Amino acid sequence: MRYSGVVFAMLAVLLAAAAANAGELVVIDSNAPGLTPGQILDGSKPLELAPGTAVTVVTVNGLVKSLEGPFSGVPFAGEESAPGESALIRSLSRLMSGKPPQTREFGMMRGERPVGRPDAWSIDIIRSGVHCVTDRTQAVLWRPSGVAAETLTIRRQPWGEKVSVDWPAGTNSLIWPKALPLENGGEYLVRLSSRISGTKLVVYLVPAKLPTNAHLAAWMADLGCNEQALALISEMQ
């Protein structure tokens, strides 16, 4: 009897240690009351999910995990925290908390793909701002309407080289012109011949090696590639 009591005590200590090391979680999708995208959860505390509800989170290690109700208990109790990983959770929390509700591209239900750009990496040339790409030689430019043939002009800012290329009718995507090599952190003014004003772009090249797509999304968000980071997170779910 005394032996079983010792075993029970040891199990209790191990379970408590697992819960203590569970680290933080950040909600990226949820239909459960009280759980909203961007919310940070204490992974060591119990979570209650009613039948028919579900929540998707990113763990401190960048893993995407889902829970469906009914559920009651400590989620992912064995997930251990790594030094500095709270920065990942904070970056994703800021990104998801600032997500505009029901926008054209990102007001989606779980499992749906973004409407508009074909993926997270295409550069929307109609929107000024920061964009991230994975390959400087294969960066893809995207326009909402591909009906007409147009001329695309790109000038390196403030007063650098300028190139003009034909954008054929019937296509929304175009590879960045090789005549103007893409620079990491470079600033560009882009204009279609059908538009009066141009679009200002800042383009960054993502690092070759990051542990997970969640880390990649956080890196993008920290640079200001928020819409692309949100699209990447949508693809992760």
Burial class (CB in 10 A: 0-12, 13-18, 19+), 69: middle
DSSP-derived 3-state class of residue 18: helix
Q: Is residue 117 part of a domain?
A: no
Q: pLDDT tens digits for 50-82?
A: 999 999 999 988 999 999 999 999 987 655 555
Instruction: Name the strand (E) or helix (H) holding 66.
Output: strand 64-68
CATH number of the domain bearing residue 165: 2.60.40
Is there a contact between 123 and 227 (Cβ–Cβ < 8 Å)?
Answer: no
127 and 89 belong to one structural domain? no
Question: Which of the four pLDDT bands, split at 50, 70 and 90, describes residue 5?
Answer: very low
Q: For residue 56, what pLDDT is reported?
A: 94
Q: pLDDT tens digits for 219-235?
A: 999 999 998 899 889 88
129 and 220 belong to one structural domain? yes
151 and 199 belong to one structural domain? yes
Mean pLDDT of 17-34: 76
Question: Which of the four pLDDT bands, split at 50, 70 and 90, describes residue 139?
Answer: very high
Q: For residue 81, what pLDDT is reported?
A: 52
Q: For residue 207, what pLDDT is reported?
A: 87
18 and 54 belong to one structural domain? yes
Mean pLDDT of 152-159: 92
Q: How many structural domains does the chain have?
A: 2
Domain coverage including residue 130: 123-224
